């Protein structure tokens, strides 16, 4: 069992069917997220390594069940080399009474968080390879009218053991779509996004090999638990902090934050400062309204300090309340012209990443535009001069935008008030579709054997 006892493995598989369990061998528990336990295993039919995430007590309330259904359908629809793949859902022992979900995904060795935290040197070509893969993944997500909403280094997985001409430094895959949304879906409550900055991502266990599993995942506590690595707020765009309407541009802001962290790891850099906007209130001791206001104001203050005092024109997209809040934390508006303001911002970014080239700064500045309407789309970012010398084999294909009605049809449950029994039926249907896919794959493999 490679460190996992038989009783731990049996506990992990509790609720799964015998047939589903038999499809996997060499199971090893590798960690626990906030609401889940994750194991590494090998698929008997192919010998390939996989990760199996067991989500416990899915039906303890309708919101949790909807979240699980949303993630299943998003992963099912995202077919892209740079997005973690949902291989199957292991069928439960009972379709009528099951409470746990077993999601089987690709296994990845590490993640960008661990690489950045190691503070080891990264070659410029390596950073460029990771950036093009990350933008390719987001372009695909956005083409399906979806927003990731929780982009951070821990949600960017790496497989460095398999190097190809297309991925000379290893394969990158985007994961954890638990907070993702599709266009037209109900937006999450204010509390949901705030909680995301205080609780570790559920799929973090996929990247913490050797962490001590906590047994059966229990329903989330009434109040979020504090963790040792709470940084989601650092990658949060101004429009989200201000609780303004937002778009896929919030993912591009996060890309800029991540890009800065990688850029300062080049060998010639002596800086290893980490996050570009490290708000101080990242592990609050109170969850009251006053505390959350302090956190929001602090994060805005950090952004305005690093990027410089914004002009009123830069904030024209925000509501009067949002504009007043930024004006307050930045001690007024800058009176600089648009050209001068961009020059000041560029110099401040150069100060933050002293070794960055002009082309790197150009992309960094664009992705970190305070005005979300001025940020490039993922497809537009891939056309920046920064990528001009990238070998053709490394340039990704651009996904054509999918018909919005097709996407909304698969997620119409978002707008419906559904009871637990109705949600159980919907998830059961997805489980049945998973079994159909397994049978088709098995038949195909025997046909070509």
Q: Which residues are annotated as a binding site for ATP?
A: 53
Q: Which of 150, 176, 251, 298 is catalytic?
A: 150
Residues 147, 145: Cα–Cα separation, whole Å: 7
Residues 103, 97: Cα–Cα separation, whole Å: 18
| Site of tokens 């789309």 | 377
- Does 150 qualify as catalytic in the annotation? yes
Cα separation values, 422 from 66, 91, 96, 410, Å? 11, 18, 12, 15
Residues 441, 435: Cα–Cα separation, whole Å: 10
Task: Return the HEC string of the chain.
Answer: CCCCCHHHHHHHHCCECHHHHHCEEEEEEEEECCCEEEEEEEECCCCCEEEEEEECCHHHCHHHHHHHHHHHHHHHHCCCCCECCEEEEECECCCCCCCCEEEEEECCCEEHHHHHHHCCCCCHHHHHHHHHHHHHHHHHHHHCCEECCCCCHHHEEEECCCCCCCCCCCEEEECCCCCCEECCCCCCCHHHHHHHCCCCCHHHHHHCCCCCCCCCCCCCCCCCCCCCCCCHHHHCCHHHHCCCCCCCHHHHHHHHHHHHHHHCCCCCCCCCCCCCCCCCCCCCCCCCHHHHHHHHHHHHHHHHHHHCCCCCHHHCCCCHHHHHHHHHHCCCCCCCCHHHHHHHHHHHHHHHCCCCCHHHHHHHHHHCCCCHHHCCCHHHHCCCHHHCCCCHHHCCCCCCCCCHHHHHHHCHHHHCCCCHHHHHHHHHHHHHHHHHHHHHHHHHHHHCC
| Sheet hosting strand 86-90, strand order edge to edge | 24-32, 36-43, 49-55, 101-106, 86-90
Query: What would you measure as the largest C-alpha separation in the chain, in angstroms?
Result: 71
Estimate to the nearest angstrom the gap between the alpha carbon of 319 and the chain centroid.
28
CB 361 within 8 A of CB 342: no
Residue numbers annotated as active site: 150
């Amino acid at each position: 069992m490679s460190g996992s006892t038989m009783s731990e493995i049996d506990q992990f598989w509790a609720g799964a069917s015998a047939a589903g369990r038999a499809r996997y061998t060499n199971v090893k528990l590798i960690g626990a997220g906030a609401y889940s336990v994750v194991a590494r295993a090998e698929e008997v039919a192919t010998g390939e390594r996989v990760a199996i995430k067991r989500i416990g007590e899915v039906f303890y309330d309708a919101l949790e069940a909807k979240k699980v259904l949303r993630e299943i359908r998003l992963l099912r629809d995202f077919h892209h080399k740079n997005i973690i793949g949902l291989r199957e859902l292991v069928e439960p022992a009972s379709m009528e009474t099951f409470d746990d979900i077993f999601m089987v995904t690709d296994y990845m060795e590490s993640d960008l968080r661990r690489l950045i935290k190691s503070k080891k040197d990264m070659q410029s070509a390596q950073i460029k390879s990771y950036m093009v893969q990350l933008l390719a993944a987001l372009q695909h997500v956005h083409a399906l009218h979806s927003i990731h909403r929780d982009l951070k280094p821990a949600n960017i997985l790496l497989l460095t053991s398999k190097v190809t001409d297309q991925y000379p430094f290893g394969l990158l895959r985007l994961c954890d779509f638990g907070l993702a949304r599709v266009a037209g879906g109900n937006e999450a409550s204010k509390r949901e996004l705030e909680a995301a900055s205080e609780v570790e991502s559920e799929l973090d266990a996929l990247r913490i090999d050797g962490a001590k599993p906590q047994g059966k995942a229990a329903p989330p506590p009434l109040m979020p638990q504090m963790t040792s690595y709470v940084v989601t707020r650092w990658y949060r765009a101004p429009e989200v902090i201000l609780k303004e309407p937002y778009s896929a541009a919030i993912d591009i802001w996060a890309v800029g934050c991540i890009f800065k962290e990688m850029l300062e790891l080049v060998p010639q850099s002596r800086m290893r400062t980490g996050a570009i906007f490290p708000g101080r209130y990242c592990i609050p001791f109170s969850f009251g309204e006053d505390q959350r206001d302090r956190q929001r104001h602090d994060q805005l203050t950090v952004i305005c300090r690093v990027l410089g005092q914004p002009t009123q024109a830069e904030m024209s997209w925000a509501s009067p309340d949002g504009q007043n809040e930024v004006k307050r934390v930045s001690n007024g508006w800058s009176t600089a012209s648009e050209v001068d303001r961009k020059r000041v911002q560029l110099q401040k970014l150069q100060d933050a990443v002293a070794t960055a080239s002009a082309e790197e700064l150009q992309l960094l500045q664009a992705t970190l535009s305070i005005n979300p309407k001025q940020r490039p789309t993922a497809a537009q970012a891939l056309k920046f001069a920064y990528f001009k010398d990238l070998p053709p084999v490394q340039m990704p294909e651009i996904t054509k935008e999918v018909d919005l009605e097709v996407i909304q049809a698969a997620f119409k449950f978002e707008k419906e008030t559904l009871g637990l029994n109705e949600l159980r039926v919907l998830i059961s249907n997805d489980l049945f579709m998973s079994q159909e896919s397994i049978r088709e794959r098995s038949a195909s493999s025997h046909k070509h054997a």
